[in-house]
Structure 1
Amino acid sequence: MYGQTTVSTPNTSASRMYRIEVEGMRQSSESDKQSYAIRKSGSVFFTVPYSRMNEQMRRINRMGGKIVNIQPLNTEPAPQPENSEN
Structure 2
Amino acid sequence: MLGQSALTRASSSASDNRVFVYEVAGLRQNEQTENQNYPVRNSSTILIQVPYSRMNDEMRRITRLGGRIVGIRSQTESISESES
Pairwise TM-score range, normalised by the shorter structure: 0.7 to 0.9
Q: Which of 12, 15, 20 lines up with 1:8 in the alignment?
A: 12
Match of 1:37 in 2: 39
Match of 2:3 in 1: none
The 1:13–1:40 alpha-carbon spacing in structure 2 relative to 1, beyond 3 Å, is same
The count of aligned residue pairs is 69
Q: Supply the distance in 1 between the matched residues of 2:54 and 2:36 (Cα, whole angstroms).
A: 18
Match of 1:81 in 2: none
Match of 1:59 in 2: 61
- Is the counterpart of residue 25 in structure 1 residue 59 in structure 2? no
Instruction: Name the larger-Rg structure.
Output: 1
The 1:7–1:55 alpha-carbon spacing in structure 2 relative to 1, beyond 3 Å, is closer
Identity of aligned residues (%): 42
- Is the counterpart of residue 47 in structure 1 residue 49 in structure 2? yes
Shift of 1:8: 2.5
Higher helix share: 2
Give 5+ residue unaligned stretches, structure 2: 1-9
Query: What per-residue deviation string (whole Å, max 9, x for no partner) do you get for residues 16-74 of structure 1?
Result: 11000000000111101112221111111100110011111111001100100000123
Q: Supply the distance in 1 between the matched residues of 2:18 and 2:30 (Cα, whole angstroms).
A: 30
> Which secondary structure state, in structure 2, belongs to the residue aligned with residue 46 of structure 1?
strand
